[in-house]
Copies of this chain bind each other. A is one copy, B any other.
Amino acid sequence: MLDITPRVEQIIEESRLHNGVVNVSGRGSTLGVTTLEYETGCVADLRRALDKIAPANSDYAHNARWGDDNGFAHLRSALMGTAKSFPLCDGKLGLGTWQQIVLCDFDDRAREREVTVTVVGD
């Protein structure tokens, strides 16, 4: 789980837009995008909850069908969602003080990930 807020803010600044909506969208079906107070406690709690909702074992129809090992990752992605949108207000990303945008890579091996940040407005 990675805090991508600084990178999103940089792209907003480069866009030179001041008001509108910012969409943060991960490409793929084994990742998720959400917000979290990004500190080790909350990160651990979210991991544990996901382990309960979609355990990282091999008991998945996706695995049985394709010989994959990442059925749990697909499931977590579908439940959390891969994209979130936030307001842009006077050039600032509209988040709370303790709220960061977090990219969750659920896959069973390290991967390079692509996240698209789109700013719409004026």
Interface of A toward B, CB cutoff 8 Å: 19-21, 23, 25-29, 34-37, 39-42, 44-46, 48-49, 53-54, 60-66, 71, 74-75, 77-89, 94-100, 102, 114, 116, 118, 120-121
By a CB distance below 8 angstroms, the chain B residues around A75 are 42, 45-46, 49
By a CB distance below 8 angstroms, the chain B residues around A114 are 96
Whether B21 pairs with A78 at a CB distance below 8 angstroms is: no
Number of chain copies forming the complex: 3
Residues A41 and B54 in contact in the complex (CB < 8 Å), given A28-B96, A86-B83, A98-B29:
no
A99 to B19: give the CA distance in the assembly, Å.
28
In the complex, how many angstroms separate the beta carbon of A57 from the nearest chain B beta carbon? 12
Whether A37 pairs with B45 at a CB distance below 8 angstroms is: no
Whether A116 pairs with B98 at a CB distance below 8 angstroms is: no
Task: Considering the complex, give the chain B residue whose CB is closest to the CB of A95.
Answer: B27
Whether B120 pairs with A20 at a CB distance below 8 angstroms is: yes
Top 10 A-B pairs ranked by shortest CB distance? A41-B62, A28-B96, A41-B65, A44-B61, A41-B61, A27-B96, A87-B116, A29-B37, A29-B99, A87-B118
- A36: contacting residue among B34, B41, B74, B100, CB under 8 A: B74
